[in-house]
Amino acid sequence: MRLTPISTAATPETQRDALAAPVHDPLWLLARQWQTRGFLADDAGSPVRVQLSSVTAPLRAGGPAGEPMAAVEPWVEAEPRPQIDDLDHRALVALASELCRRLRDAAAPVRAAWTAAFPFTPSAPAPTIVPFVGRIPDPRPLYHLLAPALGSDGQGGSMPALPGVDPAHAAGVERACRGWIAWLADRLAPAGQDAGNAPGAWDPQRLEYRFRLGAVLPDAAVALPADEYDGSGVEWYTFDRSALVPGAGSGEHPQSLEVRPAPVTYPGMPRPRFWELEDGDVNLDALAATDPAHAVLTSFAHLYANDWFLVPLSVAPGVSTITSLDVTDTFGSTTAVLAVAAVDGGKGPWRLWELTSADPDPAPGAGMRLLVPPTPRPLAGEVLEDVLVVRDELANLAWMVERLTRDASGEPVDRIQRHLQLRPPGDPAFDPGDRPEERQQYRLGTTVPDNWYPLLSSADAGGRPLLTLAALPPGAVGVSDDGVQGTLVPHLPGTSIADEEVPREGAHITRQDRLLPGGDGVVVWRSRTKSPGLGEASSGLRFDVLE
Amino acid sequence: MAISTDGNGFIIDPEDGAALALWASRREAKRRELVAAQQRLAALDAALASPQASAAQRESADAHDALARAHAATQTAQDRIDAADTEARRFEANDLAAAVEAVDAATRDVSTALAQLLRDSAASTSLTAAVDGLALRDRYRAATATTPPTWDHTTIPFPATPGDVIDPELALPPVDPTDGSGYRQLLAVLDRLDERVDAVADLTAAESVHQLVAGNTTRSGSSLAVASEGRVPDEFDVIRTPRPGADVLHRLLVVADPTAPAPWTTARPGPAALLDPVSTAWVAGILPDPVRVSARLRLVGPDGADLANPIDLPMSELELDPLGWIRVAAGGTELQARLALAADRRRRAGGGTPPPAGRTILDDTGPPPTGGVGLAALLAAASAAGRVLAASRALDPADLAHPADPQPAPPSKEAVEQIAQRVRDVERWTTTLVATLDAAVAAGVPDPAALVDALLAASAAGVIEAVPPLGTMANDPRELSRDLLASLATAAAGRLRLRQTPAPFAADPADPASSLTRARARADELVGMRLPLPAEVNPQLDGVATADLASGASRLGGADPATVRSWLLDHARVRPAVRALVDALDLAEAVDAAAVLDPRVTQRPSAAPDTWAGATAKPRSGVASVIVQATYGDRLPATVAGLAVDTWSQPVPAERHDTGVAFHYDRPDATPPQALLVAVHPDPSADRPVAQWDLDTLLDVVTSTMALARDRATAAERCTTAGVEVVDG
């Protein structure tokens, strides 16, 4: 509480005296405390002991029946491991180099023979790949030979016959090959399991992830659906909670804790004692002068600051609920403090940090919190693909604009620069001012860059509006996009995006590699992120033009 | 000819008398012909007046009549044809009209379909579907503030009954409290809107408090200011879960033995190689030896036809040092000029007739010679090595130590003086080059070949515009314009002169660290590119770390070469500098260069047994792991030099969240007194028992003290009594 006397002082000197808090004799000190209601008796005691019970259930992948998980992001975001035949040249070079190094470690000089027998000769290699052409063995035929013979983990079967293997080096070659196949097991999909490149949780129509986790509480199981995860890091607000399934609980007892509460403190908090000096770094009153919201905030901070207490609690990641909190005061009486959610049965307005219930009756499990595993922000690599989905109100279309994609060698391709370099010289967009006026000509439509793909308004069987990837008529694109097409939005007939996912500001989807500690060292995965776009855009597409 | 015709008439030349006589005789002849014709006309008129002629005229008139009748009959027939044709056209017009109508109908259909399409599009577009949600929510709250809700123009005009029309432009469903009615569905949407606005308001207030108590009053106020404008702040810190954990430090270093010879060298190294022999030697290990690299060069005429036999030129004849290859791989015309110059010298070396003038072009269509490497591979390797150098800085002794270790000693003053000496050498080299260029210009370019060599040397010092246009304009320096060479030399000398200083570089023996920094800055200035310029340092490692960095089995668990390589490959996907190093070594191994990927690992502080931080998901917190790409043989030498390629910290998550439970409890506001009351029994009599206190006495003492305190608070001018009265006895 803060004393704000209304001063009747007239002169600066008396004003200063009125604002001062001088210290005189003991009676003076007592008098000031009496004036500031420091001796006013309340019918209550100070809290001295808190008994707290809480339950925490680890998160489980896929639902309550799933396995407990350590980190959510790699599980959700990771694209499936690729087939070796789908790898770009750069990745193939890395695999072949590692095989050569393992052969070198094993002192097995077969690189030259294998390079001659399985030469690496990709079509149209990038300049960075050219030095490897014909100088390293192609890992694809070797993998197709070795993996079936040695098993997917490299530990079974026997070595197939390979050229150039001297009997003196056969053991070293076998050791190197088995190690290489085992190493590849974590990086490649097993043969015959082509899951495409989209993560299992990826919703191609919404361009975001949709998945669910679960948890098993002592008395019930709960599913935690996440319908709109954009790939920017899992948080508690990523999830809702579905109806609890009673009877499917683990039966564990809540964790109990008995501690002394400590008053909540924060910078700028008014001190309860009259002569106690306050921190001058944060002046809450400076905020109160401007508008009602600031004033309300400041009043709250001044009036109720010393009625809040804090109890430390160490919680394992997962779904957490405080089952009881009993406060014992100095007079020995015990008061149960209920969570607001327990009082209103979860039917009140939305509250921070509480999971929203999809159950019509939110009372069971009200007040449930979710503490995500404390995985740090992952290391992120360069952007591999960059796609904008934009509205074009002038052309009455939406466009998917591939700004950055990868070619067959895995090298980045700036698509607009490529278009500018490759567009035909007859493109009227080159020098519109240089065209002679008497040579005006009628054109059915103007051309658009090859990295702009039209999305036409359509609807699914249920009438839900969609934007469907369409093809431009022949001649409308002067540059071919063969070999550099992106993969974030597949270039397949019927590919569509939900209309509401392309708002006025558009959507921006990127793809990049991420790395976190985990497993036997690190976990690397290829993820996708959706963020707001850059606003509307115009392709310049016009029909029936005379130019 | 005196008479000529110009197409419009005759033109007579009055000077030509003979021609005039001829024209006069012709005119006389024509006059005579006219007279004869008039006589014949008169004879014919006489003949017509005869009876035979009259009969003939009548016959002629009859024939005219017959012809007129025939014409009339023909006209009738034509009219009939026209009538039939008109009739036919009328039917055709009907068909056409029907067709046009059909087209119109089709157009209308298309238009309708388009309108439908447009309506769908408009309906789906947020541009046209924008509703001021806050205003709608205000109206909703105003309506639901009463019981039952008030639906009218000021709120939301739900009609009370189906026939009731409040707003003809809004077709809202009538008030119908049954479940599933349109009214109830709309109310559900409005409820959700209300809840969301409330959520945003809560969130904004929470963000404001969060920022306030974190000391960020600006952000606290600004988030409230944004919210008061009806917008939502972009980012909220308050909802982010803190991610507790510890950090592990990883460093990727290239460590070399500065005394080891480079895999290959050139006779005339450029200034960069003179300054930085350590980086030069390391790059030489990444590049294939240029002796093994050759390129086929053709001499072609303007039509692209070969003017001489192509020659296979070893790239060692270009006399480029390893850093020079990085420079030419980055682009520019220096490579072309050097290739043309070397090819021309090779062609002239045998004597005989000089090669014809033409363009020198690189023929990269064929495979490289057997066992050799193509120029493309050499350039790719140089680019890769350049990316590593660009990402790196010079190795510092602290890079091998733990951040918490005592600061290692800086490079010795001898090592710094060694670098300072190299800087002075290159300063002299620059001075000599400037003098050479100036002398050549002053003497009128007596030796173009020597001047071209000097210009290429200037290019090696980073003056790229000094490259002469060899390969395109000419192949032999003597064929280039001397004025052009002189202007290039003048410009290059001007650029190089700016780098000269009055006094040579000098290191301060008392401050080796800052001398080294100055030397590096001066080196960058002298060669026009950034050089790491590593100094020779004492690694200052203990026996454990020195053993870790030797070849052989590692002390650390999970630090075998294959695991470390795999770890590097994984990090190459997220760390560009690691990617550059791995790519460079991949290339070096593919082209059989000297360097191979040989990572060795140590970590500080050491423990026994110990697991490498890269091989476990839960490393010891505070560990610094050092991954060294070794180019020094089996044992770490006593003095090393190298590059620090990349450094990053890897957060290791904690097992649990440290959270707190806050609760509200209305505790008493009473506080302990600021003064200590020492009470003396009011009865001073000597025969009073010592401990004869009772509660009433004590209470009296306390209440009288409080009464005194109240009196103490009374201002003197308001006192009714003359002073404080203390009742004695």
Instruction: Check pLDDT > 60 for residue B75.
Output: yes
- Asked if B679 has any chain A CB less than 8 Å from its own CB, the reply is no
B453–chain A Cβ distance below 8 A for any pair: no
Q: Pick the more confident residue, B131 or B512.
A: B512
Dist. CA B449–CA A462, nearest whole Å: 81
* A26 reaches B (C-beta below 8 A): yes
Task: Give the lowest-confidence range in A386-395, B46-55, B537-546, B634-643.
Answer: B46-55
- List A residues 416-445 in contact with B (Cβ-Cβ < 8 A): none
Supply the pLDDT for residue B724. Answer: 54
For residue B203, pLDDT over 90 is answered with no
Tokens 């190089």 label which residue?
A: B496
Q: Which residue of B has its CA nearest to A459?
A: B120
Q: Residues B178-192: what's their mean pLDDT?
A: 88
pLDDT single digits (tens) B453-475: 999 999 999 998 899 998 877 88
Which tens digit of pLDDT belongs to each residue from B484-523? Answer: 999 999 999 999 999 999 999 999 989 988 999 999 999 9
pLDDT digits (tens, 9 = 90+) for B562-573: 999 999 999 999
Residue B224 forms contact with A (CB below 8 Å)? yes
Q: Which of B365, B665, B702, B726 should be substituted to probe chain A, the one whose Cβ sees the most A Cβ atoms within 10 Å?
A: B665
What is the rounded radius of gyration, in angstroms, for the C-alpha atoms of chain A?
34
Helical pair A139-150 and A89-105, crossing angle rounded to 10 deg: 60
B212–A282: do the CB atoms touch at under 8 Å? yes
Q: Which of A100, A293, A325 sits opposite B228 (nearest CB)?
A: A293
For residue B128, the model assigns a pLDDT of 47
Q: Distance of CA B131 to CAs B137, B193, B344, B367, B566, Å? A: 11, 12, 77, 67, 55
Residue A192 has pLDDT above 80, yes or no: no
A269-278, A511-520, B219-228 — most confident range: A511-520
Q: Which of B240, B661, B674 sits opposite A29 (nearest CB)?
A: B674
Contact A393 B199 (CB under 8 A): no
A341 versus A74: the higher-pLDDT residue is A74
Q: Which of A507-516, B4-13, B465-474 has the lowest mean pLDDT?
A: B4-13
What is the rounded distance in angstroms from the CA atom of residue A321 to the CA atom of residue A369?
Answer: 6
- Minimal CA separation from B394 to chain A, in Å: 24
8-state DSSP, B605: S
β-bridge mates for residue B298, sequence order: B361
Confidence of residue B721 (pLDDT cuts 50, 70, 90): low
Instruction: State the pLDDT at residue B133.
Output: 82
Burial of A265-304, coded b for 16+ CB within 10 Å and e otherwise, reads ebbbbbebebeeeeeeebebeebbeeeebbeebbeebbee
Q: Tell me which of B197-206, B374-383, B546-555 is least confident.
A: B197-206
> For strand B624-631 and strand B245-256, is the pairing parallel, antiparallel, or unpaired?
parallel
* B381, pLDDT greater than 90: yes
- Of the candidates B215, B571, B709, which has its C-beta nearest A281's C-beta? B215
How sure is the predictor about B9, in pLDDT bands with cuts at 50, 70 and 90?
low
Average pLDDT, chain B: 85
* Residue in A with minimal Cα distance to B216: A282
Exposure string for B376-388, b = 16+ CB within 10 A, e = fewer: bbbbbbbbbbbbb
For A504, the closest of B127, B217, B243 (CB atoms) is: B127
Residue B636 φ/ψ region, left for φ over 0, alpha for ψ in the -120 to 50 degree band, beta for the rest: beta
pLDDT digits (tens, 9 = 90+) for A138-168: 999 999 999 999 988 888 889 999 998 989 9
How far, in Å, CA of B59 to CA of B320, rounded? 117
Residue A17 touches partner B, C-beta closer than 8 Å: no
Strand partners of residue A522: A517
Tell me the mean pLDDT in the region B191-209: 82
pLDDT top residue among B345 and A278: B345
> Of the ranges B158-172, B494-508, B605-619, which one carries the lowest mean pLDDT score?
B158-172
**pLDDT value at residue A35:** 84
Structural tokens at position B659 = 């959270």
The whole-angstrom distance between B186's CA and the closest CA on chain A is 18
Q: Is the ipTM of this complex over 0.90?
A: no
Which of A352, A355, A351 lies closest to A318, judged by CA?
A355
pLDDT at B121: 46
pLDDT band at A267 (very low <50, low <70, confident <90, very high): confident
- Is the minimum CB–CB distance between A522 and chain B shorter than 8 Å? yes
CB under 8 Å to A109, separation ≥6 — which residues?
Answer: A103, A166, A169
The average pLDDT across B311-320 equals 90
pLDDT band at A2 (very low <50, low <70, confident <90, very high): very low
φ/ψ of B506, rounded to 5, equals -135, 135
Q: Is the peptide bond before A474 cis (omega within 30 degrees of 0)?
A: no
Q: Which of A19-23, A276-280, B346-350, B642-646 has the highest mean pLDDT?
A: B642-646
A446-501 pLDDT per residue, tens: 778 889 999 998 999 988 999 999 988 777 777 888 889 999 999 998 899 999 89
Report yes or no: A347 at the B interface, CB cutoff 8 Å: no
The predicted structure's pLDDT at residue A428: 57
Touching A: B residues 637-666, CB under 8 Å:
648, 650-666
What pTM did the predictor assign? 0.80
> What is the average pLDDT score of chain A?
86
All residues of chain B having their beta carbon less than 8 Å from the beta carbon of residue A281 are 215
Residue B523: per-residue pLDDT: 94
Interface test with A, best of B573, B591, B678 (most A CBs within 10 A): B573
Mean pLDDT of B683-691: 72
Chain B contact for A132 (CB, 8 A cutoff): yes
| Pick from A36, A78, A53, A35: nearest CA to A523 | A78
Examine the pLDDT at A432 and tell me if it is beyond 60.
Answer: no
pLDDT > 70 in chain B, percent = 91
